[in-house]
Amino acid sequence: MSKNIIFLSTYPPRACGIATFTADLIKNLKNKFPSDNYKIAAINDENYKYGNEVSFVLNQFDRKSYIRLANSINNSNTDLVVIEHEYGIYGGDCGEYLLDFINNLKIPFITTLHTILSKPNKNQREILKVLGSKSKKIITMGENSIGILNQVYDIPENKIAVIPHGVPDIAVESKKTLKEKLDCKGRNVISTFGLLDPGKGIEYAIEAISQVVETHPKVLYLILGETHPCVRKAHGESYRTKLQNLVSELHIEDNVRFVNKYLTKKEIVQYLTLSDIYVTPYLATEQAVSGTLAYAAGYGKVIVSTPYRYAKEMLKDGRGMLAKSKDSSSLAKAILYLLNNPTARKSMEKKMFNTGKKMKWPYVAQQYENLFSNTIKTSKITKQVV
């Protein structure tokens, strides 16, 4: 039996990691379950030109828009609403306008959490508590969040589903071919990708590279991706300029390359495939999931990361190396160990590859479909009983 499902999320062409995630999920659900009907309620911070799959538009900053959207969905043939949640993509203090939507929604809904704080402020905690109370299920992308959701937000464990962050399944040329094609031939390539913002801690990775080149002069660090649109709107390219100036001050212009563009999925996979080491030097320790680290894991990369929650979970059991936060020497030490010990590097790659293959989108989409089907079925049975 076909199902009508609406996703409340940011959506392309809005440049946002959650928009990309939702588009990928829907694309893979459509591939595997074409009889189902998937629609989008897109969250706008400005006007975008959407495709036909966007049926509703929510003005992020207009409180009344949230109630109007709930009423529109209530009057449709929707079986389930899936809310992609991150505090910053909804209006009001900590995104509190979302509560107006869920308090007026009469359709069962599931919430996928992209940010889970272990020490939230009062409003952050209250919002997630309400979501946890009213959602049929809460989805998190890592085991690391189950205890926090239970203890901090009073969400019972039987309401929490863990589904890994999906990774695209794209075939590209060999590492050797891609290194030649993208001007990296004969070099050990280290990379970081994603929308650039000061929270990424790239300056520490650049400083680490300046230490690595002393014994590995041909190493190349690729900083892949354009500046985050919100950062660019508020501060222009000041962070990128700061990083470029740091590269010049350290005289490592031949060892650091900026690729300043919004990468396609294929380009991301190509750059990951040619990389020898992937680095996430993020500053925050609270991060419950990282799409970029998930992508690197999905392609079996050996990863060096600062110890945020998702990285600690993904890199345990010898699947990668953790360095100290805001510590370029610690990052350099981990990178040097991997460059100097190819056997250890291969072992980590193999372990990560075995974990990562279960993160490819077709496998992940199946888990979402199972959850959606069971939730709709249970909701209908409950409704009949009532």
Mean pLDDT, 10 residues at a time, the chain of 386 residues = 93 92 95 92 95 95 98 97 97 98 98 95 97 98 95 97 95 96 97 95 98 98 94 94 98 98 94 98 92 95 97 96 98 98 96 94 96 92 56
SS3 category, 190 = strand
Q: Are residues 70 and 144 in the same domain?
A: yes
Question: Do 100 and 246 belong together in one domain?
Answer: no
Q: Tokens in use for 224?
A: 């892949």
Which residue range is the domain that position 290 belongs to? Answer: 175-359
Looking at the structure, do residues 217 and 96 belong to the same domain, yes or no? no
Q: What is the largest CA-CA distance in the chain?
A: 71
Upstream peptide bond of 13 is cis (omega within 30 degrees of 0): yes
Q: How many domains does the chain have?
A: 2
Residues 318 and 192 in one domain: yes
- Sheet of strand 256-259, all strands in order from the earlier edge strand to the far edge: 256-259, 220-224, 189-193, 277-280, 303-305, 320-322
Length of the chain (residues): 386
CB 114 within 8 A of CB 85: yes
The C-alpha atoms of residue 166 and residue 323 are separated, in whole angstroms, by 25
pLDDT of residue 167: 95
The CATH number of the domain holding residue 371 is 3.40.50.2000
For 198-244, the DSSP string reads GGG-HHHHHHHHHHHTTT-TT-EEEEESPBPHHHHHHHTTHHHHHHH
The 3-class secondary structure across 205-217, one letter per residue, is HHHHHHHHCCCCC
355 plus 365 within the same structural domain: no
Instruction: Tell whether 112 and 192 lie within a shared domain.
Output: no
Query: Domain check: are 226 and 336 in the same one?
Result: yes
Burial label, 45 (beta-carbon count in 10 A; 0-12, 13-18, 19+):
middle
Instruction: Answer yes or no: do 186 and 233 share one domain.
Output: yes
One domain, residues 275 and 373: no
- The rounded distance, in Å, linking the Cα atoms of 308 and 35 is 40
Q: What is the pLDDT of residue 384?
A: 53
Is 363 within 8 Å of 316 (Cβ atoms)?
Answer: no
Question: What is the model's pLDDT at position 386?
Answer: 43
The answer on 205 and 249 residing in a single domain is yes
Q: Are residues 352 and 380 in the same domain?
A: no
